[in-house]
Structure 1
Amino acid sequence: MKQVKFMVQKFGTTFRSIRESKGVSLNSLSDDVVSKSMISKFENSLSDLSTQRFFHLLEKINVTPYEFQMTMNNYELSGDSKTLNALTELAMSQNVISLQRYTRKLNQKYTDSQSIFDQLNWIMAEAMLANIQEKKLADNVDLKALTNYLFSCEDWGNYELILYGNTMSVLPLETINIFSGTLFEKCSIFQGNSSLYEMYLNILLNTIELLIKREKYSLATKFISSFERQNLSEAFLLERTFIRFYKGIIMLKTGDEETGHTLTEGALAVFDFAGCDAFTDSLKQLM
């Protein structure tokens, strides 16, 4: 209970600090969704707010949940960084038992803190586990918290991109189409950040592969066109080779076998020559 009370206090005091720095009064924030009294009690750690009301207030002071989290943690995402690194390492090594153990740990952390970000990290771990095991998502995982958070963020940063990229496989097709289709706009404020741009490209590639696996070839072609509009330089050889392979796969599946074989075999030859055995094996399975 002490940890939960601490999180409520930290959220409230952080919100008040941001509100006051922006010169926003309590009167201007109160409306039919949240009253002045509710906001005051939240800021003074006397009560908590629902996720809906909290996101509503962030929108009114023009702060994204990601920006709020960074402010709350003094611009250090060390805890989340450690979590993301640990999840990535376990997923890459296909260490199911350790990933299950770490997922339970994240679930307990969320149970203790009731923090939205602890909840999102746990959901992400469950999604990665389901993907590795090729199983359905656990019944106790509510994806609404995930989608509500991502929909509420007008701008996406590093955390949102990683969160979406690692949970995409368990989301409905309609949601994937919306998120991936607006990805460039959501990341537009980070133009010039090479690492985020590369992550954005990788998510587009993962979207295309997922759509091909679900036999949604016309939709996959739409995202290929979106990818090609980026006019990537030759420095993005890996990404350009993936696109040629995906185009070839779609042609093979839709009847243009001659061109399809040319594109897929050419792409595989590039990966073979570069010694990218894992990529080659993965793409052959997709064929």
Structure 2
Amino acid sequence: MIQEFGSTAKAIRQSKNLTLQNVADEQLSASALSRFETGQADLTVTKFAHLLERLWTTPEEFVFRYLKGKTSFDLNGYLSMSDMLMRWFPQGALFTGNSDHQTAEVIRAKFNAALPTLDTQIAASHDPIKRFVRPLWELMREEMVATGDVTHHFPQPHPEYTTGIQHYLMALNDWSEFDIYMFTGFMPGFEPRIEKQLFQLAMTRAVKYQDFRSTRELIFRVLENQFSLCMAWCDYPAAKSCLSIYEKRLESSTNATNNINFLFDRGWYRLRTGAGTEDCEHALTVTKFLRLADEDRDLNELFHFILTHDGQDDWQRTAIFIN
């Protein structure tokens, strides 16, 4: 078991392109980690838990990967990923998501005030994944500035903030759950061609998680994001392709909200391509019947917007879900 745990840890480390030196710190030396990976030595529970943090992996994900194919043991429905995200991106707690009635100068000042602390945290770490926090923070700042500026179409590409994460994700042979979360945060900042390429990678290189419920639901959020971006770009062939993937994924979903969102999104696409409002109306009928008050309110508001605006305005309703 020690050797198999070690080999699982090594596989996770290598899948993220992390070296022994990247993972090692004052609590866990590179030599001790190497001996553990090769089955020559064990780790205490404390050091093993610390290793998982250094690998940006939750205990649930580690055991899921270790047990995959060996047993029907189910670890779905855990909460540790939110803790990991806040450890990676603690500045997210400062984000209000509301730029209404704020000038660009005020928004930039609020975001920039967090940069010294952020830079100190990054400088104190030799973890290469931590370096993606600053460009994400800067990307969010620019998106909030652009959202309140009607002369721009949201989202605007920002390759100056996304090039690093783009290269990181494209170099991975398989994406872990955490990599998918990082991708969702950066989605609006990629150039459309690059974003579509990374979306395809997300759909194929995370295939091992199709039975992992938390990530299966995360994939539906990625699909929602992708469809929203395609509609913002008025790229209807790409939106149609996204809907095809969405519909196929629904075969593994027991979440009614996913089915409702798909039906409404298909109606949105069909309305913009001249096929009528039937699907949107059916989706709203279901939300009323199931008494899903929040979903009913949000979809009714979006439906009203779609009916009263041209497709060129859909960028105003682009929404990105990170978790």
User: Quick check: TM above 0.5?
Assistant: yes
Whether 1:275 aligns to 2:287 is no
Whether 1:185 aligns to 2:204 is yes
8 Å CA contact retained: 1:10, 1:72: no
Aligned match of 2:118: 106
Equivalenced residues, count:
236
Whether 1:82 aligns to 2:101 is no
Distance 1:247 1:107 in 2: 43
Whether 1:203 aligns to 2:222 is yes
Whether 1:169 aligns to 2:188 is yes
8 Å CA contact retained: 2:157, 2:189: yes
How far is 1:234 from its partner?
A: 7.1
8 Å CA contact retained: 2:136, 2:186: yes
8 Å CA contact retained: 2:23, 2:127: no
Structure 1 unaligned blocks of 5 or more: 1-6, 24-65
Distance 1:158 1:9 in 2: 18
- Please point out which of 55, 58, 81 is paired with 1:70: 55
- Please point out which of 127, 136, 139 is paired with 1:124: 136
Deviates more, 1:225-234 or 1:177-186: 225-234
- What one-letter code is carried by the residue in structure 1 that aligns with 2:210? Q
Pair 156,20 (structure 1): closer, same or farther in 2 beyond 3 Å = same
Distance 1:14 1:271 in 2: 54
Pair 168,191 (structure 1): closer, same or farther in 2 beyond 3 Å = same
How far is 1:205 from its partner?
A: 1.3
How far is 1:282 from its partner?
A: 4.6
Pair 80,131 (structure 1): closer, same or farther in 2 beyond 3 Å = same
Which 4+ stretches in 1 moved above 6 angstroms?
A: 71-77
8 Å CA contact retained: 2:158, 2:189: no
How far is 1:73 from its partner?
A: 11
- What one-letter code is carried by the residue in structure 1 that aligns with 2:226? T
Aligned match of 2:263: 244
Aligned match of 1:214: 233
TM-score by length of 2: 0.59
Distance 1:171 1:265 in 2: 33
- What one-letter code is carried by the residue in structure 2 that aligns with 1:134? A
8 Å CA contact retained: 2:263, 2:280: yes
- Please point out which of 262, 267, 280 is paired with 1:264: 280
Give the secondary-structure state (helix, strand or coil) at the position aligned to 1:232. helix
8 Å CA contact retained: 1:212, 1:220: yes
- What one-letter code is carried by the residue in structure 2 that aligns with 1:87? G
Which structure: greater helix fraction?
1
- What one-letter code is carried by the residue in structure 2 that aligns with 1:275? A
Pair 248,86 (structure 1): closer, same or farther in 2 beyond 3 Å = same
Deviates more, 1:239-248 or 1:95-104: 95-104
8 Å CA contact retained: 1:248, 1:264: yes
Pair 279,254 (structure 1): closer, same or farther in 2 beyond 3 Å = closer
Aligned match of 1:30: none
- What one-letter code is carried by the residue in structure 2 that aligns with 1:187? A
Q: Specify which structure has the bigger relative contact order, considering alpha-carbon pairs within 8 angstroms and separated by 6 or more residues.
A: 2
Q: Deviations over 1:128-183 (max 9, x none)?
A: 333333365779x4422111111122222232111100110001112221221132
TM-score by length of 1: 0.65
8 Å CA contact retained: 1:123, 1:143: yes
Deviates more, 1:85-94 or 1:142-151: 85-94
Pair 89,194 (structure 1): closer, same or farther in 2 beyond 3 Å = farther
